[in-house]
Structure 1
Amino acid sequence: MAWFPRVYDTFLEPLVRGFREAGVRLIDPQPGTRVLDVGCGTGTHLALYAAAGCEVAGVDLNADMIARARFRLGPAADLREADATRLPFADDTFDLAIGMLMLHEMAPPDRASALGEMSRVARRVLVIDHHPRPDGTIRGRVIRTFATAIERIAGGDHYRNYRQFLGSGGVPAVVGASGRDIIASVREASGSMGVYLLG
Structure 2
Amino acid sequence: MTQHRYDSLRHEYAKLAPHYDIRWKTYIDASVREARRSLLLAAGDSVLDIGCGTGVLLAELAREIPGVRLAGIDLSNEMLAIARRRLGTDVELKEASAEDLPFGDATFDAVVSTSVFHYIREPQRALQEMRRVLKSGGRLVIVDWCDDYLTCRVCDAFLRIFDAGHFRTYRSDELCELLVDAEFSDVKVERYKVSWLWGMMTAVANRPDHL
TM range, normalised to the smaller chain?
0.7 to 0.9
Aligned to 1:137: none
From the superposition, tell whether residues 184 and 51 of structure 1 become closer, same or farther in structure 2 (CA, over 3 Å). Answer: farther
1:192 lines up with 2:209 in the alignment: no
TM-superposed deviation, 1:144: 3.2
Number of positions where the alignment pairs a residue of Structure 1 with one of Structure 2: 186
TM-superposed deviation, 1:30: 2.0
Aligned to 1:96: 110
Structure-1 separation of matches of 2:61 and 2:131: 19
Asked if 2 retains the 8 angstrom alpha-carbon contact of 1:37 and 1:99, the reply is yes
Structure-to-structure mapping, 1:56-71, within 5 angstroms: 56-71=70-85
Q: C-alpha root-mean-square deviation of aligned residues, in Å?
A: 2.6
From the superposition, tell whether residues 150 and 10 of structure 1 become closer, same or farther in structure 2 (CA, over 3 Å). Answer: farther
Structure with greater helix percent: 1
TM-superposed deviation, 1:179: 2.2
Structure-2 separation of matches of 1:25 and 1:171: 19
Asked if 2 retains the 8 angstrom alpha-carbon contact of 1:184 and 1:197, the reply is yes
Q: TM-score, normalised by structure 2?
A: 0.77
Q: Structure 2 residue aligned with 1:81, among 88, 91, 95?
A: 95
The letter of the residue matching 1:194 is M
TM-superposed deviation, 1:173: 2.7
- Residue by residue over 1:121-154, the C-alpha shift from the partner in whole angstroms, topping out at 9 and shown as x without a partner, is 11221111122313xxxxxx5x537854884686
Q: TM-score, normalised by structure 1?
A: 0.81
The letter of the residue matching 1:189 is K
Structure-2 separation of matches of 1:18 and 1:153: 27
Q: Structure 2 residue aligned with 1:124, among 139, 148, 151?
A: 139
Structure-2 separation of matches of 1:197 and 1:124: 7
Structure 1 stretches lacking a partner, 5+ long? 135-140
TM-superposed deviation, 1:59: 0.6
Aligned to 1:111: 123
How much identity, in percent, do the aligned residues show? Answer: 29
SS in 2 for 1:166: coil
Structure-2 separation of matches of 1:169 and 1:183: 11
Structure-2 separation of matches of 1:193 and 1:15: 10
Q: Structure 2 residue aligned with 1:55, among 49, 69, 92?
A: 69
- Tell me which stretches of 4 or more aligned residues in structure 1 moved more than 3 Å: 143-154, 167-170, 182-186
